[in-house]
Amino acid sequence: MVFLKLIDQLTPWHLRVLGLFDNPVEWMKRNGIAYPGWSLGGVSTVIEHCFPDFRGQRDTYEQIIRDLQADGLVREEKFLHVTMTGHGMVEARTTDRGKRFMGFITSPL
């Protein structure tokens, strides 16, 4: 029932970002996006690389991430504009609840 409420309130962009955060490298492979093998950067670089529509739209994707965090689907930590290693840039950021939700919306009945 709770997941049905989320389906009603989350936009397609919320779901795309959540899918990316679940496994960024695999998401890029599935969606035909080249993985540049970053050595340093922030998660915002990954988002803008994978979703060119978000370039220059920082407020928009920050709000989407805040929404996902408030719903308990993405980890509650500051990571978006923090410089980190290339490995850190593409690590999964979904919570256990976020992973269950992804399974709920992607698995056949």
Residue ranges of domains in the chain: 2-106
The mean pLDDT value of the chain amounts to: 94
Phi–psi pair at 41, nearest 5 degrees: 160, -165
Residue 86 burial (CB count, 10 A): 15
Higher-pLDDT residue of 80, 52: 52
Is the Cβ–Cβ distance between 41 and 81 less than 8 Å?
A: no
- How many Cβ atoms from other residues are within 10 Å of residue 24's Cβ? 22
Residue 60 amino acid letter: T
Per-residue model confidence (pLDDT) at position 49: 98
Nearest to 46 by CA among 60, 25, 77: 25
Mean pLDDT of 58-87: 95
What digits encode the pLDDT tens for the residues 8-53? 999 999 999 999 999 999 999 999 999 999 999 999 999 999 999 9
- pLDDT confidence tier of residue 109, bands split at 50, 70 and 90: low
